[in-house]
Structure 1
Amino acid sequence: MECKFIWMNGKLLPGHEVQFPFLTPAMHYGMAVFEGIRCYRAVKGPAIFRLREHIERLHKSAMVLGWRELPFPVGQLMEACVETVQANGFEECYLRPLLYLSGGGWNLNLDGGQAHVGIAVWPWNAYLGPDAAERGVRANVSSFTRHHPNVGMTKAKVAGNYPNSFLAKTESVRLGFDEAIMLDAQGLVAECTGANLFIVRGNKLLTPPDAQILEGITRDTVMTLAREMGLEVSAQPLSRDQLYLADEVFVTGTAAEIAALREIDFRPIGSGRTGPITRKLQQAYHAAVRGELPRAAEWLTYLSRT
């Protein structure tokens, strides 16, 4: 990945100079939290989408994991994200802030180490493939269960939680699918490996409740846009067979944006292509991230302040 400069603990460093010592506790124990953020080429210039919400969630994830004090406040990390994108000269890119345990913690006590922060950026391609937005993708229900909320702290975007997603996604891809749908410990639909999930029934959007999932910022954006379009939105428990009976199913995430699931467990969903409501939401979302909707003003942080 091309990243000329990486922000590390308050300084921009050449990307090729940034190295982690082998004895970094975060690498051994997964004690790190992170965010995925996008910068888009908007109508008034490059802008980062919902930057404050992402950095606030980074802080909240760190507090859930157990950090009592953090080295950089939200405002400073927001400025660091802007600075890192500018230094790399990107107009569109993906941002990865990472807050990780360094310099201690070998006794499995978070208080024994220090919190460090890095921010990298790089160009981003279609997460689920180039045809995902138009045609939709194929998915299956994974044999792996989503973390129990009292095991994996599902409200925090913790690095150590993601082997769960790796297991599910790798299995599904090896079976010939594009994505995996994960059920919770009660056998109800939770989310995909890196995205939240919605189903469409008539003029209503249904999505799994907050308790078992990572509450996605793209998910929140879609729910807001859908209500403004006059759609009814409800977070409620969903069974596996409700997926098969849906008019449309789609997933949302910073990387995936909005992508339809055209087939689940070898069963076509709706017409077997991206459905009309999914397409309308895709159009509204793309307009929002590029500053073409009035409400986008509160969601965009422009790189240029002029």
Structure 2
Amino acid sequence: MVKGTHQAKEDPRNKDIQIFINGTFHARDQAKISVFDSGYLVGDGVWEAFRVHEGKLVFIDQHLDRLWQSAKVTGIDLPFSREALIDDIRKTLEVNDMHDHIHVRVMVTRGIKKTPSQDPRLTISGPNLVIIAEHKQAASESKNQGIRLFTSTFRRGSPDYLDPRLNCHSKLHEVQALIQAIEAGADEALMLDVNGFVSTCNATNFFMVKAGEVWTSTGQYCMNGITRSNVIQICESKKVPCYQKNFSLFDVYGADEAFVTGTFGGLTPVVNIDGKPIGGIEAGPVTRQLSTWYEELILQAIQP
């Protein structure tokens, strides 16, 4: 089993799920899209992922805000409204009889190309919309034992050529960072920004705790994480000192605790970075408290 922030419990129901593609449903093993799709050809697309608990789409407004912003930034004209997309998501949940502990991924590509090319003018269809909903619950191993990070030599890019806040299909440099971390014996990668400050991880946002203070990056060179934003807001509401600032590996190696945040795993403790132990062998007290408050925030979000 793959260990990390996306480590999930096996669920045999996922073998028979129906995938939404442009208004129709297809069995998992029959869900296909053209090799001329712009997402396949050049990574030209945007995506969003969120959780479903007790039938409620958790933090859906924040996720759709990010999807619409990403589409606008990349010049993809979404041919549907937010309400229509939510309706399609609910249809996907209904056809799969899904209600709780569900992970949904929405993917939008620019469309089908006339020929393999970067040129958006050669797109001969409207955007392609794919919705994948899976029975997916985080495994307890990563939460209980924590994960190990390795600082990759692959940096988070500068906003003037591929803004790191953009939730797009082009994730190759993050994949390279993760491969490097795995080869080093770690679970996931820690990534620095173009100035050498700690930025984010390959698929999650990074936080450290020092003397009761919570530190995370400035946000200029990291993923625009919904869970990250919610944790920062929790700290503000609970009067926990939280700073978005520049800091280096010098600070990280001396941290009392560290954790990463993401939609699927919530808060996951980090127990080792570059071979150096961080805190104890499990989540520290600040991480545990923030995780409890985050779970309470989810419960508030799904209340009728």
Fold equivalence (TM over 0.5):
yes
Specify whether residues 171 and 130 from structure 1 end up closer, same or farther in structure 2 by C-alpha distance, changes over 3 A only: farther
Shift of 1:189: 0.7
CA contact (8 A) 2:227 2:266 kept: yes
CA contact (8 A) 2:150 2:184 kept: no
Query: Which of 34, 40, 54 in structure 1 is aligned with 2:63?
Result: 54
Query: Which of 196, 209, 213 in structure 1 is aligned with 2:218?
Result: 209
Query: Which of 245, 256, 261 in structure 1 is aligned with 2:254?
Result: 245
Q: Does 1:34 align with 2:34?
A: no
Q: Does 1:4 align with 2:17?
A: yes
Query: Which of 72, 82, 92 in structure 2 is aligned with 1:74?
Result: 82
Paired residue for 1:109? 119
CA contact (8 A) 1:56 1:74 kept: no
Paired residue for 2:10? none
**Could you list the per-position Cα deviations for residues 170-202 of structure 1 after superposition, in whole angstroms to 9, with x for gaps in the alignment?**
121122111110011111111001000111122
Matches within 5 A, 1:29-178: 29-40=42-53, 45-67=54-76, 69-90=77-98, 91-104=100-113, 106-113=116-123, 114-126=126-138, 130-160=140-170, 162-178=171-187
Which amino acid in structure 2 is aligned with residue 93 of structure 1? I
Paired residue for 1:21? 34
RMSD: 1.9
Secondary structure of 1:35 counterpart: strand
**Could you list the per-position Cα deviations for residues 99-142 of structure 1 after superposition, in whole angstroms to 9, with x for gaps in the alignment?**
0122227442324323121111112243xx63221221111111
Shift of 1:6: 2.1
Specify whether residues 140 and 107 from structure 1 end up closer, same or farther in structure 2 by C-alpha distance, changes over 3 A only: closer
Q: Following the alignment from structure 2 to structure 1, what is the Cα–Cα distance between the partners of residues 246 and 239?
A: 22
Q: Does 1:300 align with 2:273?
A: no
**Structure 2, gaps ≥5 residues long:** 1-13
Shift of 1:9: 2.3
Q: How many residues align?
A: 287
Greater shift in the superposed pair: 240-249 or 45-54:
45-54
**Could you list the per-position Cα deviations for residues 249-287 of structure 1 after superposition, in whole angstroms to 9, with x for gaps in the alignment?**
110001231011111111111234210010011112223
**Structure 1, gaps ≥5 residues long:** none
CA contact (8 A) 2:163 2:221 kept: no
Shift of 1:301: 8.4
Which amino acid in structure 2 is aligned with residue 31 of structure 1? D
Shift of 1:288: 2.5
Paired residue for 2:268? 259
Secondary structure of 1:71 counterpart: coil
Q: TM-score, normalised by structure 2?
A: 0.88
Which amino acid in structure 1 is aligned with residue 59 of structure 2? R
**Could you list the per-position Cα deviations for residues 38-75 of structure 1 after superposition, in whole angstroms to 9, with x for gaps in the alignment?**
112xxxx33221112112211111111122x2111122
Q: Following the alignment from structure 2 to structure 1, what is the Cα–Cα distance between the partners of residues 112 and 183?
A: 38
Q: TM-score, normalised by structure 1?
A: 0.87
CA contact (8 A) 1:26 1:100 kept: yes
